[in-house]
Chains A and B, each alone.
Chain A
């Protein structure tokens, strides 16, 4: 049912009786043109754009649990395109542009809120690094502003400007950045894909990608074998586990990243703020909770939960810039599994196996990429060529040396 003022009033009067499932719960067919492994944000977005942009219908999304149960429902909801490397800039900007029209496109309110993303800097050299980044963005028409200390103070007055260990000198602001309601993104794409005929198969686990004569031909699942002409791996933290069933070895390691939310309070934090002398980032949800995170728990993990050192480090960084929140209470912290790539940038590419496509390496930046990733992956699968905005995100770049290393920390994933 389309969401409109009319349907809402009608249903309010009708006691909300006529709403139907936002997506169907179909039985798997024997064969699909395209099978996507992974019912997270990126997989659902890929299915949606395959159907919408390329008119393809015979598509299945396999999800081993419930859709949106992985990173798309666990992240800190930040959306931005303030990247520095030429390989990343056009891709993330395409993604941000898609975000900007997403509600109207999906007829689903994902609460995209362009409240701004402010990266604080704490030294002259960091200011110049941010200027370098802002200028790289400007080369592609991406918005960015370098603020001085007074301008930052005006925007976020309760930061510690007086007594900080690393004094705040200013910030790089991207006004078009912000946050979105993470679960709604998964549900909105699922609804859009489902209504265009995509089969979303929950509780359907891909056990084995079947490869015959160098070509991917289908997926063994807990619900039987599903034939497919093309298969896309969109499995985020579980990429390695899925890909190895096809014999692929990848430049990916899975780490746990924790996220945190405080009790809900009245508005305090007006935009996304990040701490330049640490990794801390924070925003406030519409509901009022402070949503924040910082560094990875530095070890590989598939356990989706973290440990106390990272908890304490994160909160020390929080208090370092916002001493005023020390009496606010932590409500919940949890972990997600990050598919960390070797240069900190994503991979959207074909593999050496005919008909098998790969979308992974999102590190801890996958949420903002959701629409762009789906759009470009759909383009690749449908047309067998890289989308121009994602043409640098090749799998082979590690061999050739065309790495996209924003942080300059090299092939050690837990440093990105």
Chain B
């Protein structure tokens, strides 16, 4: 396929590297160094896509990331990237792109019928209609709108590529490697400051790549090469190409994304597709340049109507001629540069229309490509000029977006006829065209200044730098915002199809605030965020509401500067690595036994241990409970939080944070404790062992471990810093197992060292002791019981955890010891009426849990006062009870609510809910714990547990929450 519009020479493309690609199924050839847009232009393609609302044919308008029109679906299948700007997609061999938002084809799009309905489809149209009849919105109107809306198709499956996240630190971040940015990086870099220089494109140079300018009487590209070579040789400079700094955050934090592999067909092995950076910079210099403005006239969206600067880029950087018969529309001498570029490369200039002379384009003619323009001069003479290209130059909008991310508002500059940066983020300065310094000479000077200043402020010795001299340029101009059209639509926001009439209508309907106009018309809300639309939009709003541009003001620029793939911001924290996985000390052993695991917060814990393949959780749980209650079972409880508290005020401290008293706890004993939040609700519970006079070990729930630790640190450091205590979390330092059941002692006796006496007399219920096991291995033994059986918890340093579970299983073999999982653990604690997650839900007080007696009346503690607020003492408040099915064949479901027999469902009649349920192998029926209004006075009564979600309604008996061994004989045995 011949590249009919490829210039014979010039450009920064590599003609020795031809690349094949396809667009809408047709194959083409381009060169290395092309973008998709430049390659298609070189092949004579001018129709790239269809617009959002009216499905009008659209071509390329720009040559950069501000492109509103030329959006394509890039790649296919799971790598599909909808809404990709052809102007920034680097060409690679085998690239596949398709046009989007058209049916059945780009050339013949039936949806363009919307254009005929455009008298209806004005701004705010939706708000006024689709209301009759009411039920049709979800059924008819909305599905149709949704199908028609959107742009590209989303990818079809999960992304096969991966992404990285990275932190980067520097003294000076230079954003943009145009003349200002290069000068800044050079000045600051020579001082020795650590620099990161980023540019969104693959090449450094900015506008020097596309305008044939001269520096020191040499081609500017020579200067770019020289500077690049020097920067690359400086060890203190990191150059990030293909990297967009997309956001400014507080205190010198910048978000950036590097497109590591997007210029390749697939990423290289071990390379991410993209890498996001959080850059921490002491200073930053924004050299982001400026975006040229177009003009608003009739049918100004016809393919072939482009920015003058883009025309020059395609010619000079890509050696692709966008048209052969050109009309150049300008409002300043700056645009005349385009005339030279076109003339020198074989295009014919059909007309130069200079609005300063009072001549204007009224309307473009043509459909899928511009064919002519209709102009009107100051005397009202109309002429038609045939052409296939219109190059528009109407001044420049500084790319100051990043200066607004921390709340800065752009300020209108009358002299430059442009918005300039307002209040800047701390540490950021702006240089070059982004600051309204549009000439090359100004940019070079301003960049050097900014680089020097930044380095100096950071204490680096700056070297004097000779500022090169550039050829003179003139940028003064008077923009022409719009030419009132006689016919045809005049687009302001091309991608969202917002016209000047939409802005007029918004104003007519009172949407005069610039934010209201934006939201009502959707101007500036498309994927380009109005980079080419916003300023013209508010200029027109000013015109129709008789306000100046400063009076109208601007909308707010938000991050990201250009859209960022979500994957880049998630990095490797996806799939199984979304959050860390914590494994218990017995995990390896449990895996070998075929345990079924479940997530408990970040932990993976054994849910049950199937005895044979396919044993279900219920059968396994029953077997594990029976085995434990009849002989002995073992369970890994290492996930419980463990906090080691030491110091001479440890006892006082614990008395203040727990409802109970720990100062009276003898050394070598354990006590259960309840902790409240200061608002009087239960925060956490656990046991605390006194290991020495000034040494306690406190345990927390698995879920509460981290927050209890932070709470204790708060209480110490903020409330009572005078207390002499220190504590540290030892959750992961100790592996801990519960050994429970009538034979628990017999099993443990086999592993404790011979000099250790753990008889009931020497080591009674609630005793604790540091011991040695298995031949001098240090261990801690606690006689505590969650299951209600004779039980111990034995802890060893984590590295012995795996060995200990194996040793325990060995020692217990003759007693038929079995491991039990969370299901059995939970069943046994419900049978004993112990509270856990369902009851410790942050909404219950000690009183609600039937634990009022745990709150010492002799002292204050965190939460005590607030737990006595009147509403929390109302007798009607739900209180913990046991629940047992009346009919043993009935099943209970967690979350069912209680109703009296005969009550209709209503909030008034709602009596509470089931907090925990289980099948009890000992009672041979389903039981549960629940919070029941007035519950303690209803023991023995029959009520209903109603579950509308599972559609069950079960008769249950209210009973004491302790179902088994009420007097606790087993655990003391």
Contacts and interface: CB of A to CB of B under 8 A. Distances in A.
Interface of A: 3, 5, 7-8, 12-13, 15-16, 19-25, 65-66, 68-69, 73, 86, 89-90, 101, 103-104, 107-115, 122-125, 127-136, 138-141, 144-146, 160, 163-167, 172, 181, 183-184, 187-188, 202, 262-268, 284, 286-288, 303, 305, 307-308, 311-312, 315-320, 323-334, 397, 399-403, 405, 407-411
B566 A73 contact: no
Nearest to A69: B515
Given A123-B599, A315-B570, A330-B569, A401 B680 contact: yes
Contact of B578 (A69, A127, A164, A400): A164
Nearest to B906: A139
A400 B871 contact: yes
B894 A131 contact: yes
B127 A399 contact: no
Nearest to B868: A401
Given A16-B501, A108-B127, A286-B146, A135 B82 contact: no
A134 B948 contact: yes
Given A8-B129, A141-B905, 4 more contacts: A266-B150, A327-B81, A332-B558, A410-B683
B127 A187 contact: yes
Interface stretch (B377-385, B506-514, B883-891): B506-514
Contacts of A104: 131, 134
B566 A320 contact: no
B802 to A, nearest CB: 24
A409 B158 contact: no
B127 A109 contact: yes
Contacts of B872: 401
A210 B211 CA distance: 64
Contacts, number: 343
Contact of A265 (B137, B145, B151): B151
B577 interface: yes
B132 interface: yes
Nearest to A318: B566
Contacts of B895: 127-135
B558 A410 contact: no
Given A265-B153, A326-B163, A23 B83 contact: no
6 contacts: A132-B913, A139-B905, A160-B158, A166-B578, A286-B146, A327-B565
Contacts of B165: 312
A403 to B, nearest CB: 8
Nearest to B898: A135
Interface residues on B, range: 35 or more
B453 to A, nearest CB: 27
A114 B570 contact: no
A229 B97 CA distance: 66
Interface string B611-631: 000000000000000000000
A135 B569 contact: no
Contact of A165 (B145, B163, B576, B869): B576
A241 B947 CA distance: 45
Contacts of A109: 126-131, 137
Interface stretch (B478-486, B715-723, B834-842): B834-842
Given A265-B82, A316-B578, A328-B565, A86 B907 contact: yes
A111 B149 CA distance: 15
Contact of A328 (B52, B129, B155, B511): B155
Interface string B105-138: 0000000000000011010011111111010011
B581 interface: yes
Nearest to B522: A287
B230 interface: no
Nearest to A397: B871
Contacts of B508: 16, 19-21
A22 B82 contact: no
Most buried by A among B79, B564, B895: B895
A286 B142 contact: yes
B214 interface: no
A89 B908 CA distance: 12
B574 A408 contact: no
A19 B505 contact: yes
B579 to A, nearest CB: 5
Interface in B126-179: 126-132, 134, 137-138, 142, 145-147, 149-159, 163, 165
A12 B119 contact: yes
Given A122-B599, A130-B895, A315 B566 contact: yes
Interface in B645-688: 677-681, 683
Contact of A131 (B250, B519, B871, B896): B896
Given A19-B509, A104-B131, A263 B949 contact: no
Given A324-B159, A333-B560, A307 B948 contact: no
Contacts of B925: none
B540 to A, nearest CB: 16
Nearest to B507: A21
B513 A202 contact: yes
Contacts of B126: 109, 111, 181
A327 B79 CA distance: 7
B255 interface: yes
Given A163-B576, A264-B527, A318-B570, A325 B119 contact: no
A66 B515 CA distance: 8
B919 to A, nearest CB: 14
A296 to B, nearest CB: 15
Most buried by B among A265, A320, A405: A265
A159 to B, nearest CB: 11
Nearest to B916: A128
Most buried by A among B132, B519, B564, B681: B519
A135 B948 contact: yes
Contacts of B253: 307-308
A258 to B, nearest CB: 10
Nearest to B514: A66
A330 B576 contact: no
Interface string B518-545: 0110100011010000000000000000
Given A73-B519, A136-B910, A319 B567 contact: yes
A132 B527 contact: no
Given A20-B509, A305-B405, A325-B154, A128 B893 contact: yes
B134 to A, nearest CB: 6
B162 to A, nearest CB: 9
Given A122-B599, A264-B527, A132 B163 contact: no
Most buried by B among A133, A183, A184: A183
Contact of B577 (A165, A263, A317, A329): A165
A103 B563 contact: no
A131 B949 contact: yes
Contacts of B343: none
Most buried by A among B119, B120, B278, B870: B119
B2 interface: no
Nearest to B563: A329
Interface in B892-906: 893-897, 905-906
Contacts of A65: 513
Most buried by A among B125, B132, B578, B581: B578
Interface in B227-249: 247, 249
B311 interface: no
A-B pairs with the 4 shortest C-beta distances?
A408-B842, A288-B150, A131-B895, A128-B894
B516 to A, nearest CB: 6
Most buried by B among A73, A125, A172: A125
A110 B565 CA distance: 30
B406 interface: yes
Interface in B570-593: 570-571, 573-579, 581
B842 A407 contact: yes
B534 to A, nearest CB: 13
Contacts of B127: 3, 108-110, 181, 184, 187-188
Given A135-B897, A139-B906, A324 B146 contact: no
A331 B905 contact: no
